[in-house]
Homo-oligomer: A and B are copies of this chain.
Amino acid sequence: MAGTDHSRAAVTGGPAVILVNPQLGENIGTAARAMLNCGLDDLRLVAPRDGWPNDKAVAAASGADSVLDRARLYPNVRAAVADLAHVYASTARDRYMVNRIVTAHRAAAEMRGFLAAGESCGVLFGPERTGLVNDDIALADTVLTVPLNPAFSSLNLAQAVLIVGYEWFAADDESAPETQHTGASRPANKAELFRFFDHFEEELLNSGFIRHPDKRPSMVRNLRNLFQRAHPTEQELRTLHGVVTAFMGPRARAKEGGEG
C-alpha cells in the first residue's frame, strides 16, 4: 500500500501508528498531531469507540488534518497489522507473559533497520485507560516499553505516541555539529586565536596583572584554556580585541603579524 501512495512514502516511510479502540475523539486528534511532529502519517484506527470520522478528532488535530484524512479504519487488530512484518505492542505494565521486551529507543533503531530493508512495521497503542489486552499483545512480536517513573506513570495516549515517534525521528539523527556558527561568524583559526592571546597577554603585562613576560604562569595558561574552550568565532575575537583596546588603550606598537 505504501508502494502505491508515493506521496506517503516520500513524506515519511515510517512505522504505522495503530490506535486500538481509542475512546475519545480528542485523543485521536492529539495523537495525530504528535505523529506529525515526528514525521509519521500512517495512522490506523481499530474500532474507535465513537466511530469515524469524528469531529472532535478533527478539532483536536488542528494542523494535522492530513494525518486524519489518510487514517485507515479496521474492525480488529488482526486486520490492522496484516500487512506488517514487524509489530510492537506498547504497554507500561508487566503482562506476565514471555515476550521480547525493548525500550522505545531500541525499537526505534530496529525499525530504522527494518524499513531500510523494505520490511514494514508498526506500533500498537491500547485504549486510553485500560491499555492493550493480552490477546492483542500476542498479535505483536515484541513489547515496547517507555521507561518512566514506576511510582507515577501517567502518559496519555498522545504523549505515548509522541515518545515513540520522537525516538523514531531522533534515530535518524546525523547529529549536527554542536556549536552553531552563523555565516557571519566562522570559527577562528588558531592563528587568529593566538593573535588575540598575544594582544591580551601583552596587556596583562602592561597592566601589572602578570610580571614576568618570559614565563607563562599557570594563570595565563588557564586563561588560554578558557578561551580555547569557548571556541571563539573570528567575529568574537574582533570584539575581544576591541574590549582589550577599550580597557587599556591602543597598543604601543601595532602588531601586523604575531602568529608566533
Contacts and interface: CB of A to CB of B under 8 A. Distances in A.
Given A222-B239, A223-B239, A226-B236, A63 B179 contact: no
A204 interface: yes
A152 B63 CA distance: 8
Interface string A7-22: 0000000000000000
A38 B149 CA distance: 5
A5 to B, nearest CB: 18
Contact of A147 (B148, B173, B209): B173
8 contacts: A37-B155, A100-B178, A101-B180, A148-B166, A159-B159, A208-B246, A223-B243, A230-B230
Interface of A: 33-34, 36-39, 63-64, 94, 96-103, 105-106, 143, 146-149, 151-155, 158-159, 162-163, 166, 169-170, 173, 175-176, 178-182, 185, 203-204, 207-209, 219, 222-223, 226-227, 229-233, 235-236, 239-240, 242-244, 246-248
